[in-house]
Chains A and B, each alone.
Chain A
Amino acid sequence: MPIKNLFNGEMTSNEVIDSAFSLLENQALDRNEILINFQNLVFVSVYFLEKLESFIEKAKKLNVKVQIKNVPPSIYKVFRVARVNEILKLCF
């Protein structure tokens, strides 16, 4: 089931980012697969990148398949420039 509206607008506040990933991690506990929709994401911070990497690592350990869809080009460029390969592998 796709997770919608978790990542909206400018993800710059660490609290907001923590809260979003906390929700995501909770969902990962009882799922085999998570589909994250970045359609409404406008801006990401360094902290966001680190949390996303960390989440992917945790999901991997839990054998939860993560997929990321609808990454806006400006955010995809951030992933590319940051060379965050573990994130890039999951984008489609």
Chain B
Amino acid sequence: MTMVFSPQDKHENFVLDTEATRLNFDFISELQEDSFPHVDQLLLKARKASAVFTQYTQGQVDKIVYAVVRAALEHSREFAKLAVEETRMGLFEDKILKNIVASEFLYHQIKDKKTVNVIREIKDEQMVEIAEPVGVIAALTPVTNPTSTVIYKSIISLKTRNAIVFSPHLMSSKCVAYTAEVLYKAALKAGAPEGCIGWLKRNSKLRKQTNYLIHHKEVDLVFATGGTTMVKVAYSSGKPAIGVGSGNTPVYVHKSYDVSSAAMDICISKTFDNGNECPSEQTLVVDDDIYEQLLQEFKKINCYICKEEETKKLTPVVIDPETGVMNYKYVGKEAYKIAQAAGIDVPTNTKILLCEINSDDKNHPLLKEKLMPVLAVLRAESEGDALSKCLLVNHSGGTGHTAGIFAKDENVIAKFQNLINAGRIIVNQPTSLGGLGGMYNNLPTTLSFGCGTGGANSTTENVNIYNLLNIKRVPRRQIMPMWFRIPNQVYFNPGSLNVLKIFPAKNAFIVTDKTMEKLGVLKKVIDNLPNGCNFKVFSDVESEPSKDVIDRGLTEVSNFSPDYFIAVGGGSVIDATKGIRLFYECPDIKFEDLSVDFVDFRKRVISFPTLGKTKLVAIPTTSGTGSEVSPACVIADKKNNLKVSLFDYNLTPDIAIIDSELVCELPVKPSADTGIDAFTHALEAFVSIYANDFTDALCLQAIKIIYETLPKVIQRPHDVEIRQKMHNAATLAGMAFSNASVGINHAMAHALGAKFGVPHGRANAVFLLSTIDFNSGIPTKFMPFPNNKKYIAKEKYAEIAKSLGSQNNEIEKLIVDLKEKIKELLSKSGLPCRISELDIKLDDYLAAIPDLVSKAFNDLSLRTNPRMPLVEELEGLFRNAY
């Protein structure tokens, strides 16, 4: 609804008596006043009422609402009569219906709704919503629907335990005051708090008082229904506001719809309260095929089609040429009276005046909002033309309000609802009654139509009880489902390689490196392939495989159609095989997309593809990386000097064969390096924020075995039984970190390794002691989302010490013991425990620290460390590790 007033047009257009002149003078004198004690008193009472209301139960509230609804229904005729008499707008019979809609229909929708305490339980999200009243509401009511708006706003306010104070439009102040008083008395009788409904009375300073009211400190929410100016004032009050504004409803009558039904529905709607309802039809856009037929249908039901000359005469009567908006004198007036004013002779029973508008005249005044039984009609040459014309009307003062369509063609309905910006798009129903909700559809029954940002409003809703509540969300701490995933099949023990023979492989693509070829490991694998299995070997994998290697592997595999991939080698080979298999099965995915960083892989941005066309068999020939059971693969991006970690359980090999006969030839130094890597996996997974009972068991066993076995491997590298223990332990540790991840030690080791080319295990070794100290301290910052509710890193390190035989009972001493045992392990395995023992010069190292810190800080491993390091702490750790 658009009604723009200035003191001048108020005087000229609708208040022509002497009282109006006096009011105009009063308005000027009001400007000198800045306080209204009786408004203060009204609001203080409302404030107390809203406070007392907080104690009410749902039952008490519902009893009050019922009593008020009853009162509204009992007085609906009286209220209607008063409204028509005072405003001289609309139709008595329809005003009664509006009052009934605002009470009976509204009550039907809200009577069983919860508005006190818990109003909704969202079990899946472990959350409840609790209602908190908004407090004191300043409610502005329109002249077009004064009594029904008071009924509706009072009911939804009481239902939500708010106090409400009405400020009526001057031209409807008497009927508003009377309605509010009747409802207030009914509410009080039913036990409502004193002051829960208040109203400003008709007086010469009403406009100033309204302004004072909406800016008052005791008002919590301004709820404005009315013209654009009023709504703008409400929003500029500095208070939270629900303002609903002007409409200009386009209605598309599509050729697929029954013409006589459309004509009747439009007639019902546009004549409702003499077109006084703001969602009512303003401009019809009609398909050419049915245009003449539709006009004939309108004629049949006593609507009048204006001739071109008559439309010319009518236009300045309907739309004031000076203000450019509808002429207030004719809002809600009968069609014949409007015609009379334009000098057009029509029968008194004329329902609507239809004015055909030339399609070329996009700025025709009648394409604007006109709350009276006058309809503009546009002919559409095509569906596209019709939609564009609807958009034209929609964006001519009614954006966000209401639109309608009559069509059986779902495609055109879909297009219409997508294109038109309206809070309610009414399909195959009268838009005015449809917009009110609760009659033709299940929209919330309302007298306030949110228009969204299109109408400079805060909501597009049919304003309802939920708009008058502060809804408090109470989420319970979620116990996230954890996981434990490992390959389907793990074969172990010396000679277990021969299990390959039982697999139903037909085409095996074997990925390995030159060393495995030289050592004869590849031959052993080939010898153990199933009978009749074709195979192809790709042995170009280098240490730290790059995307280029993956691409070369893909070229090799492209004409082979493997059903099995067999990785034979250390971590680099197994990682490369994971990469080749991934891009072989999913050639369309992009490497860059899969490498997008994440904190929780379950919530990662990218969607990782599902693999399964082929099987991956991992046969590790070192005891350390755990890649044979892990969901990770590291691929070097040489062009950008980066290592990219791909992580997803789809990458986990299907089968792992842990055969120590294949590692006996591994030299001592890499045996120590890889062995300490496995030890670090277990140690870090044990204190990780994702550590759990399943991984803990693996970690402790792995740590124990490695602590006892690694020095023996160094002493007796060809002892196949000792090697098998170490091989098993590395796989156990791999299973643990695959599910609990690692931590700060790995983050620092990755940075050091990348910068100075230090083997990964060795890089891990030099940070072991300092990171245990770091995690054992009281964190400056705790890592969020831990699986444990307490910080237990210290206790867990102590538990490891005990499992390694320490007899101490004090945690501090146990941690000292653990570090001593690790020192001993490193020493026996020929591994360094400080960076100074590596071939790195101090100056070079110090110069590299900023880069090391940066790399480590961005490493994914850091995110599962129990203690979140500050940058300066990380720097300290690097410095102290030399």
Binding site for B on A (CB under 8 A): 43-47, 49-50, 74-75, 77-84
Contacts and interface: CB of A to CB of B under 8 A. Distances in A.
B50 interface: yes
Nearest to A80: B51
| A contacts with B: majority SS | helix
Interface in B24-64: 45, 47-52, 54-55
Contact of B55 (A74, A80, A83, A84): A74
Interface residues of B, number: 14
Contacts of B398: none
- Looking at A49, A78, A81, which has the most chain B CB atoms within 10 Å of its CB? A81
B570 interface: no
Given A82-B48, A83-B47, A46 B55 contact: no
B54 A81 contact: yes
A7 B52 CA distance: 16
Contacts of B47: 81-83
B49 A78 contact: no
B772 to A, nearest CB: 48
Nearest to A53: B48
A81 B135 contact: yes
Enumerate the 5 nearest inter-chain pairs by beta-carbon distance, A residue then B residue, closest first. Answer: A82-B51, A81-B51, A46-B194, A46-B48, A78-B51
B194 A78 contact: no
A46 B45 CA distance: 8
A5 B49 CA distance: 25
A49 B55 contact: no
B216 to A, nearest CB: 13
12 contacts: A43-B55, A44-B55, A45-B52, A45-B193, A45-B194, A50-B48, A75-B55, A78-B51, A78-B52, A83-B51, A84-B48, A84-B51
A44 B335 CA distance: 55
Given A43-B55, A46-B194, A79-B51, 18 more contacts: A44-B55, A46-B45, A46-B48, A46-B52, A46-B193, A46-B195, A49-B48, A75-B55, A77-B51, A78-B51, A78-B55, A81-B50, A81-B54, A81-B135, A82-B52, A83-B51, A83-B218, A84-B51
A49 B52 CA distance: 9
A84 B194 CA distance: 16
Contacts of A77: 51, 54
A46 B49 contact: yes
A2 B135 CA distance: 34
Nearest to B220: A81
A78 B193 CA distance: 12
A74 B117 CA distance: 13
B59 to A, nearest CB: 14
Interface string B52-80: 10110000000000000000000000000
Contact of A44 (B50, B52, B135, B195): B52
Contacts of A83: 47, 51, 218
A90 B546 CA distance: 74
A79 to B, nearest CB: 7
Contacts of B45: 46
A43 B52 CA distance: 8
A82 to B, nearest CB: 3
Contacts of A78: 51-52, 54-55
- Looking at A43, A46, A75, which has the most chain B CB atoms within 10 Å of its CB? A46
A73 B152 CA distance: 33
Contacts of A74: 54-55
A78 B49 CA distance: 9
